[in-house]
Amino acid sequence: MAGPSRGQRPQAVLFACRLNAIRSPIAEAICRHLFGTSLYVRSAGVIKGDSEPFAAAVLDEIGLDLKKHRPHTFEEIEELEGLNFDLIVTLAPEAHHKALELTRTHAIDVEYWPTPDVSDIGGSREQRLAAYREVRDMLMKRIKERFDWRPGGGS
């Protein structure tokens, strides 16, 4: 089965980044919130990261909970549930290369959404939170546009 054409909403999406700690879990949480069960969503990383308190904090600000998220690698997702996704959205170059490598023999579309890595941002707590908010808001906007979100209906 071929993946959805660009502009069509897929049935199952995997968000991926270098560590499954900030960008991909934020995207997963936003997508789940917006689309509920009408879209199957997971996230993974090239390598397993640790849960990130700043990511949880900026999602908490908009009423989303990241506390139950447990980081996974591509291999763990593949082992647990297979690569049964219509679309893999990569948020980091390392994840994009890994997704292309894994999908050579699968009919899965891969899209690259360059997203800043804020894991090593320095500064005060407020400066770091501001950087995480920018990523959260950028992902929210991109997800709404790509998956044609409609207020009130979720789809």
CA distance 72 to 69: 9
* Residue 44 amino acid letter: A
> Tell me: the pLDDT tens digits for 7-26?
577 999 999 999 999 999 99
Q: Are the C-beta atoms of residues 89 and 16 closer than 8 Å to each other? A: yes
Q: Which two tokens stand for residue 9?
A: 């909403």
Q: Are the C-beta atoms of residues 19 and 119 closer than 8 Å to each other? A: yes
Res 1: pLDDT = 38
The alpha carbon of 137 is separated from its chain's Cα centroid by a whole number of angstroms, namely 13
* Residue 147 amino acid letter: F
Q: Which two tokens stand for residue 38?
A: 């009408």
Domains of the chain: 20-144 (3.40.50.2300)
CA distance 43 to 72: 7
pTM: 0.90
CA distance 43 to 13: 8
> Tell me: the pLDDT tens digits for 44-103?
999 988 888 999 999 999 999 998 888 999 999 988 887 889 999 999 999 999 999 988
Strand locations in 20-69, DSSP E?
40-47
